[in-house]
Amino acid sequence: MFAKLTRLKLQKTSIKQLFFYIILTLSATTSLYFVFHNHDFYDRPIAEVINTKTEKTTEMTDMNGNNDRQYFQKIVAEMKNGEYSGFEIQLTNEYSDSGAYDQEYQPGDELFVSVDDLKDDNKVLTGYIEDVKRDKYLMIIGWVFILLLLFVGKKQGLFSLITLGVNSIILSYALDIYLRSEGISLMIVCGIGVIFFTAISLLLVNGFNEKTYAAVAATLIVTFTTLLISFIVVKATSGNGLKYEEMQFLTRPYEMVFMAGILVGCLGAVMDVAITLSSSIFGLYEKDPAISIKALRKSGFDIGKDIMGTMTNILFFVYISGAIPMLILFFKNASPLGFTLSMNLSLEMARALTGGIGITLAIPIGIYTSIFFVNRKRAGQ
């Protein structure tokens, strides 16, 4: 029956859908065409590798006894933009087998280069490689992501894409406000941001109803409680064990940036738990409006216990995995285990654990807020 319904629905909306798919294909192809031909939009000179020749290979052993091989590559490339467009340029590249900070270039790769001043007696352009043009790969993965989400998720996929888009715009805007104005704390900006994120993500997908209100209320209570807990712990131990010096990309007070990261980081997982619980509690209530509070609470906790383990895992892996290359570099440079772990994982551990606290707290708080809203709905009837 379910399949029949879907098929009927398909026929009814087929023209609208067809139109949607055409627009989608058009925008995918134009944007992909654009990133493969956008050289003139860049001020920095771009060159496409035409052919390469590996000139020299050196075996090397570093001070810690690691064996690697280094290659010296001569590259001829064609300029794609700027005053020398169409000219050939000669470049050199050194790369190693490990490729920690270098890579082999192949014909077809596009590179940002800087061009040496052309001398009169020298007809060949020379220069050196600054970076790789990566925008096309971002566009490819972006479209694979969008199309797969739409293909698998249909309408819900579209809604999640819109939510992601709106949330990124809010995040970017919130950071702009923080950076432009003196004296506003990052925490306050992110705190207000969190309220918007929660309201938009939950209301857009689940609609305006008691179920969503319960989830929004629970999410906000839990997120700010979690932040408070981590704040108290950090203050009480005066940050003992947190190695802020490993924090990368710092231009602002580090403790604030770290705390704001915790606040935003656990938000998604907390929302997930809150809406899962309120959906199922309201689902049970709608099926049987006379259901007892005790029964609701019991099924709520049963569901909570089921999702607790796998949800805490999500954040754990997201945070810890990011440190893998750095951990390996430390180990390979003969750093002791304890030092390596505390230098590279102290903040990630704290983040993952705080996220876990948020998820676990979201279970009772999610259940009781939902029950509160169920009671209110009952009293109103």
Work out how close the CB of 161 gets to other proteins at its nearest, in angstroms, rounded to a whole number: 8
Helix (H) or strand (E) holding 53: strand 46-61
The C-alpha atoms of residue 172 and residue 163 are separated, in whole angstroms, by 14
Over its C-alpha atoms, the chain yields an Rg (Å, rounded) of: 27
Work out how close the CB of 51 gets to other proteins at its nearest, in angstroms, rounded to a whole number: 18
Using CB under 8 A as the binding criterion, the count of chain residues that bind other proteins stands at 135
For other proteins, which is the closer residue by CB, 52 or 346? 346
For other proteins, which is the closer residue by CB, 118 or 314? 314
Distance, CA of 321 to chain centre: 13
Work out how close the CB of 22 gets to other proteins at its nearest, in angstroms, rounded to a whole number: 22
Work out how close the CB of 306 gets to other proteins at its nearest, in angstroms, rounded to a whole number: 7
The C-alpha atoms of residue 76 and residue 50 are separated, in whole angstroms, by 6
Work out how close the CB of 62 gets to other proteins at its nearest, in angstroms, rounded to a whole number: 4
Percent helix, strand and coil across the chain, each rounded to 5?
65, 15, 20
The C-alpha atoms of residue 35 and residue 25 are separated, in whole angstroms, by 16
∠ CA 188-191-197 to the nearest 5 degrees?
140
Work out how close the CB of 120 gets to other proteins at its nearest, in angstroms, rounded to a whole number: 32
For other proteins, which is the closer residue by CB, 82 or 261? 261
The C-alpha atoms of residue 275 and residue 160 are separated, in whole angstroms, by 14
The C-alpha atoms of residue 332 and residue 66 are separated, in whole angstroms, by 7
- The reply to whether 188 sits near other proteins by the rule CB under 8 A is no
- The reply to whether 191 sits near other proteins by the rule CB under 8 A is no
Q: Find the part of the chain contacting other proteins (CB under 8 A) among 19-27, 73-81, 113-121, 310-318.
A: 310-318
Who's near 251: CB < 8 A, 6+ residues apart?
Answer: none
For other proteins, which is the closer residue by CB, 89 or 267? 267
Count of beta carbons in the 10 Å neighbourhood of residue 83: 9
CB 278 within 8 A of CB 215: yes
The C-alpha atoms of residue 272 and residue 284 are separated, in whole angstroms, by 18
* Among residues 49, 113, 217, 271, the one that binds other proteins under rule CB under 8 A: 271
- β-pairing, 110-115 vs 125-132, is antiparallel
* Among residues 24, 115, 203, 261, the one that binds other proteins under rule CB under 8 A: 261
Q: Find the part of the chain contacting other proteins (CB under 8 A) among 11-19, 25-33, 116-124, 343-351.
A: 343-351
Query: x-or-dash pattern for other proteins, window 220-259, by CB under 8 A?
Result: ---------xx--xx-xx-xxxx----xxxxxx-x--x--
User: Among 47, 64, 203, which residue's Cα sits nearest to residue 130?
Assistant: 47
- The reply to whether 311 sits near other proteins by the rule CB under 8 A is yes
Query: x-or-dash pattern for other proteins, window 115-154, by CB under 8 A?
Result: ----------------xxxxx-xx-xxx-xx--xx-xxxx
Residues 9-38 that bind other proteins (CB under 8 A): none
- The reply to whether 322 sits near other proteins by the rule CB under 8 A is yes
For residue 124, give the 3-state DSSP assignment: coil
- β-pairing, 125-132 vs 88-96, is parallel
Q: Find the part of the chain contacting other proteins (CB under 8 A) among 22-30, 85-93, 119-127, 272-280.
A: 272-280
Residues 89-118 that bind other proteins (CB under 8 A): 96-101, 103, 112
User: Among 43, 41, 115, 42, which residue's Cα sits nearest to residue 78?
Assistant: 115
Residues 348-367 that bind other proteins (CB under 8 A): 348-351, 353-357, 360-361, 363-364
User: Among 309, 304, 307, 312, which residue's Cα sits nearest to residue 370?
Assistant: 304
- The reply to whether 212 sits near other proteins by the rule CB under 8 A is no
Which amino acid, 332?
K
Residues 56-85 that bind other proteins (CB under 8 A): 60, 62-64, 66-68, 70
Helix (H) or strand (E) holding 130: strand 125-132
* Among residues 88, 268, 284, 368, the one that binds other proteins under rule CB under 8 A: 268
Work out how close the CB of 28 gets to other proteins at its nearest, in angstroms, rounded to a whole number: 15
* Among residues 275, 277, 296, 374, the one that binds other proteins under rule CB under 8 A: 275
* Among residues 160, 203, 255, 377, the one that binds other proteins under rule CB under 8 A: 160
